[in-house]
Amino acid sequence: MRRTWLLKKALIGCTALFALTAAAALAADPTDSTFGTNGIAEIEARLPETGQVGGIADLEPGGGGRLLAAVYPIARGGHYFAASRVRPNGAPDLSFGRDGFTPRLRSGRGEVKGGGVLQAEAVAGQRDGKVLLAGYRDSEGAFAPALVRFTAKGRLDPSFGNGGKVLPRPVRGGRRIDGNGGGERLHDLAIKPDGTIVAVGDIVPHPPNLPVNGPGRARAVVVAYRPDGRIDRDFGHGGRFSITPPHSRAYTGFTAIRALPSGKLLVSGYLRQQIVLYRLTANGRIDRSFGRDGRVTVGGRSEFFIFARGAYLRAPFAVDRRGRIVLCGLLYPRKGRSIEEPVALLRLLPDGSRDRSFGRSLYMERAPIDAREPDPREHGVQGFTFEPQAMAIDGRGRVLVTGGELAPYTRGQEEPGHEDFTSRLFLPNGRRDRTFGEGGVWHTAPPGSQSLARAALAQPDGKVVAGGWVQLERFGGNGPGNTAMMLTRYR
């Protein structure tokens, strides 16, 4: 009798454990199944003339629950500078442009053969429905900023710039910048309440010891444009605000901007690979009442130049309903120290002081997946690392950080690395949300396909959409010609 009772107890325990495991497995997937196909939307951005396809660099509201996306090329040397509008269910808005995309732009003679291509980095929607797209022109390593405006129907707006485009040539001091000579790039933009367009970016110096004409020092820049595309000379110094640190090989540049209702601007980026957040007045001056003399810095300055683990270095931030600022980014080591690159995640009060009630420390709380050791049964398998690209705060005050997770790969394979479209979710107190995915981490990438998340947006209903790109496995391979835009929405 006792043996029978013990057997029943064991069976009941196994059944309960199975039920809990099944429930956990079902609860692990945080995607919204009403969006796209099972929570994921894949959209091919293909041009009839070139066949190039693209990914999503930025997401912004498009009105009526729709999404605006900045679309950029994946293929090396490819050309795709476009905006796309997506319906609330993840399908392209066919009433916008051509099949949901703005027309191909031509930046000048020899735009592809001569190395002159356009790279989209950011998108923004105006109150009248018009769409702004910012990025840069790349002519064999010589850069120039690019800003374009489209009508609400996705066509070039002739009332802006030159036929809808502001596409200057790469110049320095009135002289054309030589190939590989560096130059200016735009990485994000915002629209102030008065309609002024403000973009942020960097100035890339020319490579040292090369006889080329180009800027000699790196800078972080903010540029203001009037609604018609002309430079707003009343902003900053002749339309610009810039920071030029002492000569250094470490990265310097602004990567994100947000216009506040007051007209002031929050600008984040890196100065000598040190995370920085500035608050500027409406006319482009440093707001000395914010942080320490107008700025907040995170981490120590680094003179040891390190490339980002992926291709895009960003310091994303988001502002919650109470005006608090959540800031994120990679912390780079100094030369001679550990090569580990921890991720900072902190919250600031509206005045720039640190909110000590958020998280356990300055660093992003690790998840169990980060503690995984290399598999001893598979030679050459690497570990996991995370690179944040974008951030959004959902309707419950939770912070979603999305980007790329460097996944395990085996030495000797054709691709040097493999990134997964990955998001991490944190509670309003900064602690990891253990109910999200695997202990707070969720990989959205389809099995066997490389992918990357670069954008995140909180929708009016409080849900968050993340966007990026994915390689499609077809025709016997998953090369650059098989990439697509990828969107996912979380519950």
Yes or no: say if 48 and 56 are a contact pair by the CB < 8 Å rule. no
Pick from 54, 144, 135, 133: which is nearest to 108 by CA? 144
Burial 127-158 (b: 16+ CB within 10 A, else e): eeebbbbbbbbbbebbbbbbbbbbbbebebbe
| 300 pLDDT higher than 90 | no
Read off the tokens for 74.
Answer: 């994946």
Q: What is the total residue count of the chain?
A: 491
| 340 pLDDT higher than 90 | no
What are the phi and psi torsion angles at 211 (to 5°)? -80, 70
Total domains, the chain = 1
In a domain, 459, yes or no: no
In a domain, 282, yes or no: yes
In a domain, 187, yes or no: yes
What pLDDT was estimated at residue 161?
Answer: 96
What pLDDT was estimated at residue 457?
Answer: 98
| 410 pLDDT higher than 60 | no
What percent of the chain stands above pLDDT 90?
Answer: 56
What pLDDT was estimated at residue 44?
Answer: 84
| Residue 21: band (very low, low, confident or very high) from pLDDT cuts 50, 70, 90 | very low
Pick from 138, 99, 103, 141: which is nearest to 121 by CA? 138
In a domain, 342, yes or no: no
Q: State whether residue 12 is helix, strand or coil.
A: helix
What are the phi and psi torsion angles at 26 (to 5°)? -65, -35
In a domain, 67, yes or no: no
> What single DSSP character describes residue 350?
T
Averaged pLDDT for residues 108-128: 72
Q: State whether residue 25 is helix, strand or coil.
A: helix
Structural domain range at position 275: 105-317
Averaged pLDDT for residues 353-358: 97
| Residue 51: band (very low, low, confident or very high) from pLDDT cuts 50, 70, 90 | low
What pLDDT was estimated at residue 334?
Answer: 54
| Cα–Cα distance for residue pair 17/123, rounded to 1 Å | 48
Selected residue with higher pLDDT from 445 and 189: 189
What pLDDT was estimated at residue 362?
Answer: 92
- Which of 98-107, 167-176, 315-324, 439-448 has maximum average pLDDT? 315-324
What percent of the chain stands above pLDDT 70?
Answer: 76
Q: What is the 3-state secondary structure (H, E, C) of 360-400?
A: CCCECCCCHHHHCCCCCCCCCCCCCEEEEEEEEECCCCCEE
In a domain, 121, yes or no: yes
| 358 pLDDT higher than 90 | yes
Read off the tokens for 200.
Answer: 């942020």
Structure confidence by residue, pLDDT tens digits, 266-298 = 999 999 888 999 999 999 999 999 999 999 999
| Residue 481: band (very low, low, confident or very high) from pLDDT cuts 50, 70, 90 | low
Read off the tokens for 251.
Answer: 């990265």
What pLDDT was estimated at residue 128?
Answer: 94
| 195 pLDDT higher than 70 | yes
In a domain, 92, yes or no: no
What pLDDT was estimated at residue 250?
Answer: 76
In a domain, 206, yes or no: yes
DSSP letters along 83-149, please?
A: EEEE-TTSSB-TTSTBTTBPPPP--STTTTTTSEEEEEEEEEE-TTS-EEEEEEEEETTEEEEEEEE
Neighbours of 392 (CB within 10 A): 24
Q: Which range, of 21-30, 251-260, 467-476, averages the lowest pLDDT?
A: 21-30
Averaged pLDDT for residues 421-430: 96
Q: What are 334's strand-pairing partners? A: none
| Cα–Cα distance for residue pair 382/218, rounded to 1 Å | 34
- In Å, how far from its chain's centre is CA 292? 27
| Residue 390: band (very low, low, confident or very high) from pLDDT cuts 50, 70, 90 | very high
What are the phi and psi torsion angles at 443 (to 5°)? -95, 120
Pick from 401, 463, 453: which is nearest to 31 by CA? 463
Provide the whole-model pTM.
0.88
Mean pLDDT over all residues of the chain? 82
What pLDDT was estimated at residue 178?
Answer: 79
Selected residue with higher pLDDT from 311 and 326: 326
What pLDDT was estimated at residue 18?
Answer: 37
